[in-house]
Chain A
Amino acid sequence: MKNRLRQIGILAAVVWMGLAFAGPRDNSLVVGASQEPRVLGDFWAFVTSQAIASEIENYLWAGLEFIDQDGNDQPYLATEVPTVENGRVKVTELGEGKKRIEIHYTLRDDIYWSDGHPITSKDVAFFYEVGKFPGAPVQDPSYWSRLGLKVLDDKNFVVSFEPAYFYDLVGSAIGLAPEHVMRAEWEKTKAEIKKLDPKKDAAKITELFQGFVSKFATPKALNSGSLVYSGPFVLKRWTPNSALEMARNDKFFITPPGGADKYVQRVVYRFIQDTNALLVAILGGSIDATSSVSLTFDQARAPQLTRRAKGRFDIWMVPGVIWEHAEVNKFKNVQTVSDLMLYKKETRQALAYAMNREGLVKAFFDGLQPVAHTWVHFQDPNYNPNVKKYPYDPEKAKKILAELGWKDSDGDGYLDRTVDGRKVTFEIEYVTTAGNRIRERTQVFFQNDLKKVGIKVKINNAPSSVVFSNDFFSKAYDGRWKGLFEFAWLFGIVDDASVFTCKDYITGDVYVPTPENNYSGVNFGWCNDEFDKLRAQAMVEFDAAKRKKLWQRMQEIWAEELPAIPYYWRSSPYVMKKGLVNYIASTFHGSFGYPSTQAWLIGWEQNGAKKIYDQADYATPVIAR
C-alpha cells in the first residue's frame, strides 16, 4: 500500500511539476525572504529605503568600498580605502569645533557596467548632480548638505564634507549611478522641475523625482533592461509578488578562487510574506538559504525546523545591532514622572536592579540574545566592557527605593509615598507594540519581577502604527506615555549617539522633543552636558584611538545615569543548506549584516567552490533539542 501510494505520489509530482527546484543541482541559490523590495536601483532612496532592497542590490551594484564580515572597510570599485595614513584623507580645522575632510578616490581601471561601458567619475558626478538638485526628496538631508565633489579626471575625484563627522569615513563616501543610461531621462525631468517653485510645488517636484526613478527601478522597467549593473550579478527577471532571478555578470572584475564557473551562476529570491508559509517552504526543501528579512527568532528555534535540520541545513543566530530596550519618560513636568521620580537616576537604577534581564534572556532565548549594558554593541570597536552593570539584585533595588522615600504603608504589597499631601502608589505604565508576542511576554516577566520589589506595572499596548505615531511617541513631554516604552533601535556599523544627545554642540540642534522644537528628536528628557561635549568632540575625531577614549567615557556616564533600561541585543536567525559556502551573515557584514556582501564568493562546496570564510566564526548554531 505504501509502495502504491509512493508511486501515485511520484506520478502526481512528475505530472504536475514545472522545472525542478534549484540548488546545488544546477549551481544556483534560492533565497527565501518575507519582504519584497518595491524598487531596485533607487540609488538616492527617493522612493523608498528597505533592508531587503539593500540586500538584493548588493548582488547587482558595487560601491566604492564595502564592509567585510569583520566590520572592516575594504576597497571595491576604488583602488584602495582612503585613510589619513595613505594620504588620501585630508583633515582641515574650521574653528568652533568644526572640521572639513577631503577624500581622494581613484577608480580601478578594470571596471565596467554590464553593457561594457567603463565605470568612470562621470557616474559619481551624475549621482552627485541628481542628489544635490534643489527639491530632491532625499531622506538624509544632513549628508547632502555637507557633501561636496570635485572631479579630477575619468578615474579620480575628491569628495568633501563640511562640517565633517568621523562616520563620513566609514564605508563609501558617495555613490554612483550609470550616467550613460540615465542622463537623457534626467535632462527631461530637470527641465520639468525647473518650471516649478521648490517651496510651493514641493509635492509635485517629489513626484517628478520619483517618476524619474520609476522609469528605471520598477519591476517592469528593470525587466525591459532599463538599467545596467556593476555587481557580481545582473537582474534577469523580476516577477512581482513571486520571485526575482539574477544571473552571473560576466563583466564583473573579481574572479573567485578556482574560476567563476565553480560558484553560483543564478540567484533566485522567493518572496513569501507570511513567515509561517516561509517556514513551510524551508521545511519542504525549496529554499536554500534565508535572507536577512525572513524568519522570526522563535521560528528558527521551533522543533519542527530543528528536528529536520540534521544533515540538511544549519541554523545560525547572528548577533545583530538591534538594541531592545525600555525608554523612560524623564520629563519632570509630567505629573506621573514627578510622582515616581523617574527623572532621578536612582529610580532608574532601582528598576534595572529589579528587572531580571539575565533570567529573561535565559528563559526566553536560551541565552542566544545577550544582555545589553549600554547602547553600544559588544562587537563595536569602541565598546567599553568596564562600565557599571546592573545584575539582578532585588534587595539592592528595595534598598534604593527605600532611600528614595518609598514604603508600603498600607500593606497592599506595593510601595507608596506622600507627595504634597497626596498618597502616590508606585504604579508605572509600560507601553510596547501590541501583537508582538515576545515583547508581551517580556512585559509579563518584568511585571512579575517589579511586583516583588513593590512596583505595580500597568500594561498599555497598542499597534505599532499607533505607538510610533508622532502624536504618541514624540509627545512624552505632554505625558502621552508616562513610564516605560519598550522598542528597539537598529544601529548599524555607525552609531553617532544622537539618540541620547541633548544638545548637538556642532549644529546647535536640540534633540529633546518639546513644543519649542516641534517635538523633533528622540531624547526623552536626559541632558548631560559632559556627555554632549564628549560626543561633539568624538564626532570630529578622526583618530580611532582618541575617539575610542571619548566614546568609552560617554559609556561610563551613560551606564551611571541610565537614561534608558538596556534589555538585550537581538540576534537574527539564518537557515542555510549544508554545502553552501561564503554566504556569510555577520554583525556588520555590508554594514547591517547582509549575507549578500561579497556575493561573488557564494557557492556550493559540492560544485567545487572554495570555503573562504566560516559562518561558525560569526554566529552561534542552534542545536536541535
Chain B
Amino acid sequence: MIAYIIRRLLQMIPLLFFVSLVVYTLVALQPGDPLEGLIFQNPHLTQEDIEALKRAYGLDQPIYVRYFKWLGRALQGDFGISRTYAIPAVEFIFEQRLPMTLLLSGTAFLLAVLVSIPIGIFSAVRQYSIADYVITFLAFVGYSTPVFWLGIMLLLLFAVWLPELLGLDQPIFPPGGFVTPGVDPDTVGLWNYLKDRLWHLALPAFTLSVVSMAGWTRFMRASMLEVLSQDYVRTARAKGLSERVVIYKHALRNALIPIVTLMGLAVPGLFSGAVLTETIFSWPGMGRALYDALVEKDYNVAMAALVFLALLTALFNLIADIMYAVVDPRIRYS
C-alpha cells in the first residue's frame, strides 16, 4: 500500500508539468491580450506606444519563453502578481477566495451529506411507500433544477415576495453578499457577526447543495436497496436481530462504500467553487475568481488557480482510492 501511494505521488509530478504546460498554452492562445482594453480606450496610441506597452507587460516574448519564465518563478513559489488586483496571486487565492469557497462548498457538502444519507436510507427501507414516491419525485426535481434559476427564485422569494406578503420592511434572507456592510466583530461583537455570516450563508449553501442532495439521495437509496436484498441481511433478520441493528450495523456499512467513493471524488469540486452560485449570491469564491481571471487575461491568477486545482484533483483522487481500499477489505493495491 505504501509503495502504491509513493508511486502515485511520483506520477503526479510529470502530470502537473504537463497540465501546467497545456493550461498555460490554452490561456495564452485565447484571443486577445491584456493590452487590448487599453488600446481600445485610446484610439490614438501610436505603434511605438503599443510596442512599449507590450514590453512593459512582458507580452513581447513568444509563448514558450513566457511559459518557462513563469515555470522558473513558480518552482520557487513565486506565482507572480495579479495584474488586476495588484497583490500576489497566491495571496489573492489563498487568503481572499479559497476560505470563502471552502465555507460555501463545505457547508453545501455537509448539508447534502447530512440530508441525503438518512433520507436515502429511509426511502430504501420504505420502498414503494408514498413517502418513497414523494422523495423520489423531489429528488428528480432537485436534480433537474438549474442552479442559477433556483438561486434567483430563492432570492426573489425570501428577499422580495415573502417580505412584501408579510408586510416586512427587511428581507427574510439577504439578497446576496457574505456579510452586512458595517458588521464586523469590532462593531457588533463576535456572536452577532457570526449570526450575520450564517444568515448570509444559508441561501447560497442550500442552493448549491440541492443538486448533490438529490443525486446522493437517489444513489444512497439504490445502494441500500442492493445491500438489503443480499443473503447476509436475510440471515441477520432470521437471527432475530432488530431491524435497527440490521440496517445500521450490517447493511449501512456496505451500502456506504460506493457513496464514500462518490463523495471522495466530489471533494476537489469543493475547492473549484461554483461560479454560477457565487455570481448570483455575490459570493467571492474561487469559481468567480477563475472565471474573471480568464476573461480579463490575468494570467498569474488563472495559472495559480488552475495548477492548484490540478494538484488537488490528483491528490483527492488518490485519497478516494485509498479510502475505497480502507472501507472495502476486498480491495488491496500492490
**CA–CA, A563 to B190, complex, Å?**
63
B171 near A284 with CB under 8 A, answer yes
Chain B residues numbered 34-77 whose CB sits less than 8 Å from any CB in chain A? 36, 38-47, 49-50, 52-53, 55-58
A141 near B49 with CB under 8 A, answer yes
Q: Which residues of B contact A218 (CB under 8 A)?
A: 85-87
B interface, size bucket: 35 or more
Chain A residues numbered 448-475 whose CB sits less than 8 Å from any CB in chain B? 465-466, 468-472
Q: Is A274 an interface residue (CB 8 A)?
A: yes
Chain A residues numbered 511-552 whose CB sits less than 8 Å from any CB in chain B? 511, 517-518, 520-522
Q: Is A72 an interface residue (CB 8 A)?
A: no
Q: Is B160 an interface residue (CB 8 A)?
A: yes
Q: Which residues of B contact A472 (CB under 8 A)?
A: 31
**CA–CA, A276 to B149, complex, Å?**
11
Smallest CB gap from A465: residue in B: B32
Q: Which residues of A contact B42 (CB under 8 A)?
A: 139-140
Q: Which residues of A contact B159 (CB under 8 A)?
A: 280-281, 283-284
A498 near B87 with CB under 8 A, answer no
Q: Is B240 an interface residue (CB 8 A)?
A: no
B192 near A141 with CB under 8 A, answer no
Instruction: Give the shortest distance, in Å, between B108 (CB) and chain A (any CB).
Output: 18
Smallest CB gap from B58: residue in A: A203
Once A273-B288, A280-B159 are accepted as A-B contacts, the answer to whether A470 and B36 lie under 8 Å apart by CB is yes
Q: Which residues of A contact B175 (CB under 8 A)?
A: 272, 277, 280-281, 284, 286
**CA–CA, A18 to B191, complex, Å?**
10
Our pick among B56, B167, B169, B171 for the contact of A6 (Cβ within 8 Å) is B167
Q: Is B84 an interface residue (CB 8 A)?
A: yes
Q: Which residues of A contact B177 (CB under 8 A)?
A: 242-243, 270, 272
Q: Is A30 an interface residue (CB 8 A)?
A: yes
1/0 per position for A274-309, CB-CB distance to B under 8 A?
Answer: 101100110111100000000000000000000000
Chain B residues numbered 248-294 whose CB sits less than 8 Å from any CB in chain A? 279-282, 284, 288
Q: Is B114 an interface residue (CB 8 A)?
A: no
Q: Quick check: which of A206-214, A344-352, A554-562 contacts chain B, the rest being far away? A: A206-214
Chain A residues numbered 233-256 whose CB sits less than 8 Å from any CB in chain B? 237, 239-243, 245
A-B contact count (CB 8 A): 212
Q: Is A19 an interface residue (CB 8 A)?
A: yes
Once A39-B85, A504-B44 are accepted as A-B contacts, the answer to whether A17 and B199 lie under 8 Å apart by CB is yes
Our pick among A199, A469, A496 for the contact of B32 (Cβ within 8 Å) is A469
1/0 per position for A327-350, CB-CB distance to B under 8 A?
Answer: 000000000000000000000000
Q: Is A268 an interface residue (CB 8 A)?
A: yes
A272 near B41 with CB under 8 A, answer no
Q: Is B163 an interface residue (CB 8 A)?
A: yes
Q: Is A444 an interface residue (CB 8 A)?
A: no
Q: Is B321 an interface residue (CB 8 A)?
A: no
Scoring A21, A203, A241, A472 by chain B CB atoms within 10 A of each residue's CB, the highest score goes to: A241
Smallest CB gap from A203: residue in B: B58
Q: Is A202 an interface residue (CB 8 A)?
A: yes
B31 near A469 with CB under 8 A, answer yes
Q: Which residues of A contact B163 (CB under 8 A)?
A: 9, 284
Q: Is B237 an interface residue (CB 8 A)?
A: no
Once A272-B282, A468-B36 are accepted as A-B contacts, the answer to whether A203 and B55 lie under 8 Å apart by CB is yes
A465 near B295 with CB under 8 A, answer yes
Once A17-B170, A206-B57 are accepted as A-B contacts, the answer to whether A242 and B43 lie under 8 Å apart by CB is no
**CA–CA, A220 to B92, complex, Å?**
11
B155 near A277 with CB under 8 A, answer yes
Q: Quick check: which of B4-12, B121-129, B181-189, B312-320 contacts chain A, the rest being far away? A: B181-189
Q: Is A189 an interface residue (CB 8 A)?
A: no
A18 near B49 with CB under 8 A, answer no
A139 near B38 with CB under 8 A, answer yes
1/0 per position for A1-41, CB-CB distance to B under 8 A?
Answer: 01001100110110011111110000000100000001100
Q: Is A48 an interface residue (CB 8 A)?
A: yes
**CA–CA, A282 to B283, complex, Å?**
18
Q: Is B216 an interface residue (CB 8 A)?
A: no
Smallest CB gap from B298: residue in A: A38
Our pick among A2, A206, A465 for the contact of B56 (Cβ within 8 Å) is A206
Instruction: Give the shortest distance, in Å, between A213 (CB) and chain B (any CB).
Output: 6
Chain A residues numbered 131-185 whose CB sits less than 8 Å from any CB in chain B? 135, 137, 139-142
B86 near A241 with CB under 8 A, answer no
Q: Which residues of A contact B145 (CB under 8 A)?
A: none
Q: Is B229 an interface residue (CB 8 A)?
A: no
**CA–CA, A9 to B58, complex, Å?**
57
**CA–CA, A39 to B81, complex, Å?**
14
Q: Is A499 an interface residue (CB 8 A)?
A: yes
Q: Is A217 an interface residue (CB 8 A)?
A: yes
Q: Return the 5 tightest CB-CB contacts between A and B, nearest first.
A: A241-B284, A243-B181, A203-B58, A202-B55, A214-B86
With A16-B199, A242-B282, A277-B152 known, 11 other A-B pairs at CB within 8 A are A9-B166, A19-B183, A272-B176, A274-B282, A277-B281, A277-B282, A281-B175, A284-B171, A286-B171, A468-B36, A521-B44
Name 18 A/B residue pairs within 8 A (Cβ), A-sorted. A18-B195, A18-B199, A19-B187, A22-B181, A214-B81, A241-B100, A241-B282, A243-B182, A268-B182, A271-B282, A277-B175, A277-B282, A286-B174, A468-B32, A469-B36, A470-B39, A518-B47, A520-B46
